[in-house]
Structure 1
Amino acid sequence: MRKLNYQDALALTTEKLAHGGIFLTVKGETPNTMTIGWATIGHIWNRPVFMVLVRPQRHTYEMLKKAGEFTVSVPTKNPLLKELAFAGTKSGRDLNKFDGHGITAAKGQTIETPVIEECGLHFECKVVLTQDMTGERMDTALMDRCYPERDFHTMFFGEIVDCYTTDE
């Protein structure tokens, strides 16, 4: 394990977000992970922040609100496309995504939420703001394309408290 400055992980993380997705994991009685393709990383409030979007109907949503923390794991050597597709189409309400589906929950370094062992890049985050989207003031074309059912996301802003690689 080698610590990283989150800025050194931006290019790979944003490339994976745009092409296949990355894993968002939350702790709970049974940890859960989901695939995300929409997120942003930046520096606000004098802190490094990873903002993830989760719809209220997702199993991850209530878990994340309760946990107040999350991890983001980025595939590096192995693209894990099959595992990302599975995690993005199955609900943790119905099954344990870590039970025989090609991904393993591993202990994180700083927070209680696990990371995905098969990934080589990890962000550990503590939620500092939760903001519901309403569509108010959103570009109409964007809203019609991304939210035709008006099923808006909630934005979870997580302070990045740790960033590291487990690749050798």
Structure 2
Amino acid sequence: MKEDVKFNDHLRELLEQLPKGAFLTVKDDQDRVNTMTIGWGTLGFMWQKPVFMVMVRPSRYTYQLIENAKDFTVSIPLNKDLKKALAACGTKSGRDIDKFKECNLTPEQGKVVNSPIIGECDLHYECKLVYQQVMEPALVDPSIKKLAYAKGDYHVMYYGEIVASYVKE
């Protein structure tokens, strides 16, 4: 059962879990599906809309998909230990393996968007892409450059209007 919640109802749980990992899942216009682990993101309110911002490097397989998609989902494991799946989805490429099969993850149809949710997770955000921005290296603080971009592999930021948020029981 999927119980609708306000986008910020589980903010504490989201912010505690996100650094440990969450699943960003995308289905593109050619029906290719992939999930990847994210540890960074922002939940907020912009343009009079609830928004989830995720970051994807162009070197990632998910980048190819999200560039040809209209939406994405973020699935947060709260009650089930998915450390192994999060580790695999953060280190292996969907170009080479079927992460769903490899990690025993179930892609499930969400409520609104085309991209699936991860069935084993508890908290879900379905997002419609509303804006994207390539990071401008000259504007990044030097300490962040050194920490996260030593190889020059800057992220693209994707802003998704949260069109559904719910917990799965």
Identity %: 45
Separation in 2, partners of 1:101, 1:37 = 18
- Is the Cα–Cα contact under 8 Å of residues 44 and 52 in structure 2 kept in the other structure? yes
Equivalent of residue 63 in structure 1, options 58, 65, 68: 65
Q: Deviations over 1:85-135 (max 9, x none)?
A: 011111011111111422110111111110000001100001100100022
Match of 1:128 in 2: 130
TM-score (norm 2): 0.95
- Residues 40-55 of structure 1 mapped to structure 2, 5 A cutoff: 40-55=42-57
- The alignment's C-alpha RMSD in Å is 1.0
TM-score (norm 1): 0.95
Report which stretch shifted further, 135-144 or 40-49.
135-144
Q: Deviations over 1:2-49 (max 9, x none)?
A: 00001102111111112x210000014331000000100000111000
| SS of residue paired to 1:99 | helix
- Residues 128-167 of structure 1 mapped to structure 2, 5 A cutoff: 128-167=130-169
Separation in 2, partners of 1:152, 1:43 = 24
Report which stretch shifted further, 130-139 or 47-56.
130-139
Separation in 2, partners of 1:84, 1:62 = 20
Separation in 2, partners of 1:100, 1:64 = 21
Aligned length: 166
Pair 1:10 & 2:29 matched: no
Counterpart residue identity of residue 147, structure 1:
Y
- Unaligned 5+ residue runs, structure 2? none
> Which 4+ stretches in 1 moved above 3 angstroms?
none
Separation in 2, partners of 1:156, 1:117 = 23
Match of 1:87 in 2: 89
- Is the Cα–Cα contact under 8 Å of residues 30 and 96 in structure 1 kept in the other structure? no
